[in-house]
């Protein structure tokens, strides 16, 4: 995990409090496909046994996306297609 991302997660995004974002983001086909693949893998995932904390070398799990999204105050969220690209119009604050 990138150090900045880790810091934001560790501090519960407090550094970004009051931040606002407004703009249009073009979503790549690769990003859309990754999202679809994550969704589908979640539908067919099987429970895994808990790993031992002593011998675990796996990286720490990322925070729950639902918890992160709950921090957003979304005023506008529109998805559109233009010239073969998927566009996401967003206006939100933290």
Q: In total, how many domains does the chain have? A: 1
Asked whether the beta carbons of 42 and 64 are under 8 A apart, the reply is: no
Asked whether the beta carbons of 39 and 54 are under 8 A apart, the reply is: no
What does the pLDDT average to over 38-61? Answer: 64
Residue 14 lies in a domain: yes
In 3D space, the residue among 90, 94, 87 whose CA is nearest the CA of residue 27 turns out to be 87
Residues composing the chain: 94
Residue 52 lies in a domain: no
Q: What is the pTM of this model?
A: 0.53
Q: What is the chain's mean pLDDT, rounded?
A: 80
Domain residues for the domain of 78 are: 3-42+62-93
Residue 66 lies in a domain: yes
Residue 28 lies in a domain: yes
pLDDT given at position 90? 92
Place of tokens 């957003």: 72
Residue 31 lies in a domain: yes
Reported as a single tens digit per residue, the pLDDT across 54-76 is: 555 555 566 677 777 788 899 99
Residue 50 lies in a domain: no
Q: How many helices (H) and strands (E) does the chain have?
A: 3, 3
Residue 54 lies in a domain: no
Residue 56 lies in a domain: no
């Amino acid at each position: 995990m990138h150090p900045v991302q880790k810091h934001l997660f560790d501090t519960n995004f407090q550094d970004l409090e009051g931040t606002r974002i407004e703009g249009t983001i073009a979503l790549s086909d690769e990003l859309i496909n990754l999202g679809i693949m994550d969704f589908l893998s979640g539908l067919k995932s099987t429970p895994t046994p808990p790993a031992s904390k002593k011998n675990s070398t796996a990286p720490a799990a990322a925070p729950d996306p639902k918890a992160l999204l709950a921090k957003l105050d979304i005023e506008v969220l529109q998805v559109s297609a233009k010239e073969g690209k998927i566009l996401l119009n967003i206006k939100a604050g933290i």
